[in-house]
Amino acid sequence: MTASPGSQGPAAEGFRSGFVTIVGRPNVGKSTLVNQLVGTKVAITSAKPQTTRTTIRGVRTTSSSQIVFLDTPGLHKPRTALGERTNERARASLDEVDAICVVIDASEPIGRGDGFVCELAHAAASPVVLVVNKIDAANKAAIASHLASAAAELGDFDAFVPVSARTGEGVAALLSELEPRLPEGPQYYPEGVVTDQPELFIAAELLREQLLRVTRDEVPHSITVEVEPIDDLDDDRRHPDDVLRLRAVVRVERDSQKGIVIGRDGSVLKDAATAARHELEALLGTRVFLETAVRVDRDWQRRPHALDRLGY
Ligand SMILES: Nc1nc2c(ncn2[C@@H]2O[C@H](COP(=O)(O)OP(=O)(O)OP(=O)(O)O)[C@@H](O)[C@H]2O)c(=O)[nH]1
Ligand SMILES: [Mg+2]
C-alpha cells in the first residue's frame, strides 16, 4: 500500500489493514455508505448530485482490522474544470487501494454512467465488489432484477452485496466481504481517529451541507466554502472563554446567487450557519463562534486558477 499515512508500530499477528475506495455515479449514496461503514459522520451528504468534491478518508478500526475507506466524488460527464478535477480524483483512487466498491442505486435503472464506472473499476488491479444501495427504497422483486441485470450488464464482480446505507441493512455483510480481502498489515491511524480531514475543512463542509439543503438548480454547484480561524491557532489564547472563533467565507458565482444564499434579512445564511455551528460544537466538544460572509467569485468552477486557490 503506497497511500500509508504512517503506521502505528508493528502489526499484531493476524491484524489486517488496507484501503477500500467507494466509487459510483453521483448521488448513489457513497458518502452515506462511508458514514455507515465508519459508524460516524465523516462526509457530508445531500440529495443534490456532485456533493463530494475531494476524496475523504473514513477510518474503521476494530480489534482485528483497520479499513481506510475512500469516499470519492461521483463520476460523471464533466461540464466544468471542477468536474474534470473531481472525476480525476475518483479515478485515481482506483489504483491506490486493496479493494474497490462500485455503488449503484437500486431505486433507479442501471444506466450508462454505471457501466462507465464499472469499466474503470474492472480495468484496475484490485477486487471489485458491487454494492447495490438504497434497498430500503426498492421492493424485493426490483432488487432481484437489479442484481440480475448488474450481473449481465456490468461485468464480473468478486461479490454482490445489497445494502441500505440509510438504515445500515447489509453493511455488516459488506464488511465481511471486504475484511478478508485486505492484506495483513499495520494499523495506519491511531485508535479513535475516524478521518484525515482537518477541523477547518470539516467546518466548511458542514456549512456547505446546510446550504445544499436550502438551495436548488445550479446554486448548489456554485457554492464553495472556506473557513479560517479568527484567532491565531498557535496562540495559547486561541480559545478565549473556551470559544473557537471561526470565519466562513461562502463563495458563489453570480450576484443573484449571493442574494439567494443570504436570503431575506439574512435568514437563509443565518439558519444554515446556526445548524452547522451546532453540529461542529457537538463534534469538537467546544463552543464555536461562526462569522459568515458571502462573496461573488465569478465562474470559479470553470477557472483552473480559482480551483487551485480554493483547494480543489
Ligand atoms: N432511501 C435511501 N436513500 C439513500 C440511501 N443512501 C443514500 N441515500 C440518499 O441519496 C442521496 C445521495 O446520498 P450521498 O451519500 O450524498 O450520495 P453520493 O453518492 O455520495 O453523492 P455524490 O457525492 O454527489 O457523488 C441523499 O439524499 C441520501 O440521503 C439509502 O440507502 N436509501
Ligand atoms: Mg458523496
Ligand nearest to the CA of 108: 1
Domain ranges (residues) in the chain = 16-181, 199-309
Q: Give me the residues paired with residue 287 across strands.
A: 243
Contact criterion met (CB below 8 Å) for 107 and 60: no
Pocket test for ligand 1, best of 22, 23, 28, 32 (most atoms within 8 A of CB): 32
Indicate the SS3 state at residue 309.
helix
Going across the sheet that includes 159-162, the strands are 56-61, 65-71, 16-24, 99-105, 128-133, 159-162
End-to-end alpha-carbon separation of the chain, Å? 25
Pairing state between β 16-24 and 65-71:
parallel
Taking the centre of ligand 2 as the mean of its atom positions, its distance from the CA of residue 24, in whole angstroms, is 9
Question: What is the number of alpha carbons within 13 Å of residue 189 lying toward its C-beta?
Answer: 21
pLDDT in tens, the chain (312 residues): 334 455 555 567 899 999 999 999 999 999 999 999 999 999 999 999 999 999 999 999 999 999 999 999 999 999 999 999 999 999 999 998 999 999 999 999 999 999 999 999 999 999 999 999 999 999 999 999 999 999 999 999 999 999 999 999 999 999 999 999 999 999 999 999 999 999 999 999 999 999 999 999 999 999 999 999 998 766 555 555 678 999 999 999 999 999 999 999 999 999 999 999 999 999 999 999 999 999 999 999 999 999 999 999
Burial of residue 180, with CB atoms counted within 10 A of its CB: 0-12 exposed, 13-18 middle, 19 or more buried: exposed
Residues whose Cβ atom is located within 5 A of ion ligand 2 = 30-31, 51-52
Does ligand 1 have an atom closer than 6 angstroms to the CB of 134?
Answer: yes
pLDDT value of residue 3: 45
pLDDT value of residue 277: 98
Helix, strand, coil % (nearest 5) of the chain? 40, 20, 40
DSSP string, 128-185: EEEEEE-GGGS-HHHHHHHHHHHHHHS---SEEEE--TTT-TTHHHHHHHHGGGSPB-
Does ligand 1 have an atom closer than 6 angstroms to the CB of 301?
Answer: no
Indicate the SS3 state at residue 69.
strand
Per the structure block, which three cell numbers stand in for 19?
A: 484501503
Ligand nearest to the CA of 47: 1
Per the structure block, which three cell numbers stand in for 40?
A: 460516524
pLDDT value of residue 235: 59
The 10 Å CB-count burial string (b at 16+, else e) for 219-247 is bbbbbbbbbebeeeeeeeeeeeeeebbbe
CATH of region 199-309: 3.30.300.20
Taking the centre of ligand 1 as the mean of its atom positions, its distance from the CA of residue 40, in whole angstroms, is 15
Per the structure block, which three cell numbers stand in for 310?
A: 480554493
Phi-psi region of 243 (alpha: psi -120 to 50; beta: other; left: phi over 0): beta
Kindly report the number of other CB atoms within 10 A of residue 150's CB atom.
20
Contact criterion met (CB below 8 Å) for 43 and 71: yes
Contact criterion met (CB below 8 Å) for 69 and 91: no
Indicate the SS3 state at residue 245.
strand
Q: Closest Cα to atom 2, ligand 1: which residue?
A: 134
Taking the centre of ligand 2 as the mean of its atom positions, its distance from the CA of residue 282, in whole angstroms, is 22
Q: Is the CATH number 3.40.50.300 carried by domain 16-181? A: yes
Does ligand 1 have an atom closer than 6 angstroms to the CB of 164?
Answer: yes
pLDDT value of residue 6: 58
Which atom of ligand 1 is closest in space to residue 52's alpha carbon?
A: 23
Q: Taking each helix axis from N to C terminus, what angle separates 267-284 and 255-262, rounded to the nearest 10 degrees?
A: 60
Taking the centre of ligand 1 as the mean of its atom positions, its distance from the CA of residue 277, in whole angstroms, is 23
Kindly report the number of other CB atoms within 10 A of residue 87's CB atom.
18
C-alpha span between 180 and 17 (Å, rounded): 10
Amino acid at 122: H
